[in-house]
């Protein structure tokens, strides 16, 4: 499954076009490597997404073509969520 579609189906990102744009900006990593919107995702992969000032890392548990809102969180396990350290200028 494509990373942009997985992000949309899992509801980590609301719309596929937004997921595509974020991937194009280099803000999505699959197993530590920068991904393109068409990059393939497999069960067991770790996905890191930069949302504003935080990084969210999840592990892919299942892949499905579509899902209900209530079942979306079963597609991944949250590994870690961490703030991005802001650089202070002196």
Question: Does residue 35 sit within a domain?
Answer: yes
- State residue 73 phi and psi, 5-degree precision: -70, -15
Separation CA 42–CA 64 (nearest Å)? 11
CATH of the domain at 41: 3.10.290.10
Question: Does residue 70 sit within a domain?
Answer: yes
pTM of the model: 0.85
pLDDT category at 84 given cuts 50, 70, 90 is confident
Per-residue model confidence (pLDDT) at position 71: 87
> Which residue, 59, 55, 52, 71, is CA-closest to 11?
71
Question: Does residue 89 sit within a domain?
Answer: no
Range of the domain at 69: 3-83
Tally of domains within the chain: 1
57, containing H or E segment? strand 54-60
């Amino acid at each position: 499954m494509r990373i942009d579609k997985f992000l949309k189906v899992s509801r980590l990102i609301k719309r596929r076009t937004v997921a595509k744009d974020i991937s194009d900006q280099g803000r999505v990593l699959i197993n530590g490597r920068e991904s393109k919107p068409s990059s393939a995702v497999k069960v067991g992969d770790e996905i890191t997404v930069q949302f504003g000032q935080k990084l969210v890392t999840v592990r892919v548990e299942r892949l499905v073509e579509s899902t209900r809102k209530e079942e979306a969180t079963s597609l991944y396990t949250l590994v870690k969520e961490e703030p991005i350290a802001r650089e202070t200028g002196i």
